[in-house]
Amino acid sequence: MDYIRKQDALAVIMDVWQNPDYDAHPLSEAYDRVAKLPVYTPYQKKGIWNWKGNGWTGSMTNYDLLQCSVCGEIVNVDLDQAYKYCPNCGAEMITDEQAVTAEFWADVERETALLKREEANG
């Protein structure tokens, strides 16, 4: 799936709508221009679960306290059934195998820098 920026598509539509030169076929002109917009891959925040200890529910059921490394939210889960995504911030939780590779963390740093630039540009 290709992603485009909503404001770019709206700018094309407004330009075509307000430009009298496009009166003959405004829909096809807008379609052609939107199809030529640059596409990007949306950034997916990535993090790890930090184990914070054991806990007990009212029924004395054992669970684990896990903290999201991205937002700091602490969740109560069975460690064997930990969420793949943080329910608070939506960050994808990586596995231990992914966490040990320097290449993975370099990718995370690049994606974080890209997200910050996109957020700064609106």
Q: What are the structure tokens assigned to 99, written together?
A: 């966490």
Q: How confident is the model at residue 36 (pLDDT cuts 50, 70, 90)?
A: very high
CB 16 within 8 A of CB 33: yes
The mean per-residue pLDDT over the stretch 99-111 comes to 69
Give residue for tokens 């407004």: 14
Q: Is the pLDDT of residue 28 over 70?
A: yes
Beta-carbon contacts of 55 under 8 Å, excluding residues fewer than 6 positions away, are: 62, 63, 64, 65, 76
The mean per-residue pLDDT over the stretch 26-30 comes to 80
Q: Is the pLDDT of residue 65 over 60?
A: yes
Q: Is the pLDDT of residue 58 over 70?
A: no
Helix axis angle for 6-18 and 26-35, nearest 10°, is 150
The mean per-residue pLDDT over the stretch 64-72 comes to 87
The mean per-residue pLDDT over the stretch 27-36 comes to 86
The whole-chain average pLDDT of the chain stands at 78
The mean per-residue pLDDT over the stretch 64-84 comes to 82
Q: How confident is the model at residue 102 (pLDDT cuts 50, 70, 90)?
A: low
pLDDT the model gives residue 52: 82
